[in-house]
Chain A
Amino acid sequence: MSKILGLTGDGAIAHAVKQSNVDVVAAYPITPQTLIVEEFSEFVHNGEVDTEFVCVESEHSAMSACVGASLTGARVFTATASQGLALMHEILYIASSLRCPIVMGVVNRALSAPINIHCDHSDMMGSRDCGWIQIYCENAQEAYDWVIQAFKIAEDPNVLLPVTVNIDGFILSHSLEGVEILDDEDASKFVATRKPTIRIDPDNPITVGALCLTDYYFETKRQHFEAMNEAPKVTEKVNKEFEALTGRKYGFIDTYGLEDAEAAILCLGSTAGTAKAVAKELRSHGKKVGVIKPWVYRPFPMEEIMEALENLEALAVLDRACSLGAPYGALCSDIVSLLYQKGRRMNVFNIIYGLGGRDMTPSDLKAIFNEALDVAKTGLVKEPLKFVGVRE
């Protein structure tokens, strides 16, 4: 039997970790991820889990400790945000390249300077190409559900890649919601324990992190790329098992109103929730709009997004990070590349919004939907990229 608890986004992640038979947590607190580490250390202190909690002096050390622990075959979790993720950057590549299936909660927060503690996605987008599977959540329930699923996806022998589960700083991390959580026993049975195929073991010595020059480095990277290609098959399987257990259906993307939509907004994270509410209102007035929210951002769900775009005339892609000097934000660049690759000519425009925690309001979203409908009607994109919510 499941029960509903009032939990913050961070609390939901801490509870998911508590129920996931995690062997080692090495983490350093940073706003707005702090509640995850605080709550989890309480579980450790109270003896509610037998996890080894490693207090480290920085995020660089946190991720390094996670890599070491993961190589012994342990199930490992950590969490960070913003500057912490940036400090981990070097080790993020090592974790994924050594194929350590670590799960990490990333509570998205703007990068300095100027220093800011509020939400945007520039932290994760800054480490976009680090070879980790990247999942974005709309609410605390999704954060709980994805963390539990993430261990199974990461540790599958055909994948063996680390996973970040992203939630929007403060918007989700510190907001209290009703979250349906599994019984400890059911959750524990679902995630089971890690079954490592290769691990460091004094009785069977192996070498990890050996020098790999022009002769083998490229092959190792090609192999890593292939693991990303394997991840969707495993994700699909895990989503199905999770649905059978909880009744909650996950996939690579979440959609709203696409059955007859002419124009849609595509965005990551909590903004999708507001966008759905606005779309609902507009649809009640006969405006055919929809929402597309990729849950899985890496590997990029190309087929599912192409299918979702099939009947659309216009698309507004919302980026909560700025790729300075690029033609579009990161998410919109991916969408435009995908459309070009598939030979689909579609009217797309990019909105940069919400930097440093600036609110994306329902009225902003309404204006974007109306602009998208206008583009659908005229076939004309006036501004390929624009900023919404910034003072001129």
Chain B
Amino acid sequence: MRPVVYLDNGATTRVDERVALLAAEAMTVAFGNPSSAHRLGVEAARRLDEARQRVARAIGAAATELTFTSGGTESNALGFYGAARAARGKHVVCSAFEHPSVLDAAARLKALGYEVSLVAPEPSGAVDVARFAEAVRADTAACALMLVQNEIGIVQPVAEVARAVKAKAPRCHVHVDAVQAIGKLAVDVTAQPIDSLALSAHKLHGPKGAGALWLRKGARVEPRQFGGGQERGVRPGTEGVPGLVALGLAVELAERARPEAARRMAEQRDRLWALIAARVPGARRHGDPSRAAPHILSVGFPARPAEPLLHAMEARGVCVSAGSACHAKDKRPSATLRALGVPDDMGTLRFSLSRDTTDEEIGLAAEAAAAAFVELAT
């Protein structure tokens, strides 16, 4: 069945046609290897450099500080795990609701003998600056915090946390996962004392398999792979030019559209919530609305399991995510949601918007949610 309403842009987005064309051209016309000495190689290198400039401009960085990667997971692996491995200390800190690419890296570090401190979110859905800083010690090697939490869409106080961390441990590497933030919030890496920042193309109308890590000049990370010296040795291997030129254009387009798109998405998000709240008795909006990113709405449905709600919406042509992992044995909400006080029998759906979301889609999604809620009455 063809989805008519796509409100799962937090999972991935539709690739912008202009971006897809640029990627196709890099595959069929400018297909050279950027390391080749001949003109085709030079042309590929030029396009790659242009992409780097585009990403750098969008986040206030220098192009030389950008490492291209395969996406958010790899950027987080380099920026958090790789930074911890490159430092002397054996302690790391991150929020308890980081993306699995950070949490699983922390678990791996723990297995390697590191101490790991996890900072639980407050009921608002944000971490508390003082509590985060409290977890940091003089010997903390690295810490990580996402700018927009992916499940509930709450903006984290990254700049404040970074300042508090640096005040206590100036050498602690501060990594920011901005995968859900680019194109939705203004991001300026120079405005805050952070050391690395991860972003991904497919969350902003670019293709899957392309991302970048901004790494402050002088910050050190241990590479995860070895080879021909590309990306200054941080991430060797022939560059994925088609995906990366697409990343560059996608970031530029997202940033250009952002002021207007963010305002519209925030309005649509609030209207969606108002429509659902009016139709679904006992529905709960997770997290402090004043801290919400413009594109994510996380809603709890009382006494309904999450995944059947998702499928019941799907049957009505509306694609969303279940806001909690749902396992055969453990039907409880995720740790993130429980920390926010979400009751065990409340199923949560994540509605995530994009700059292409229409007002009509918002209305259809609210109707589908209300109907799914009724269908799944027990």
**Does A pair with B?**
no
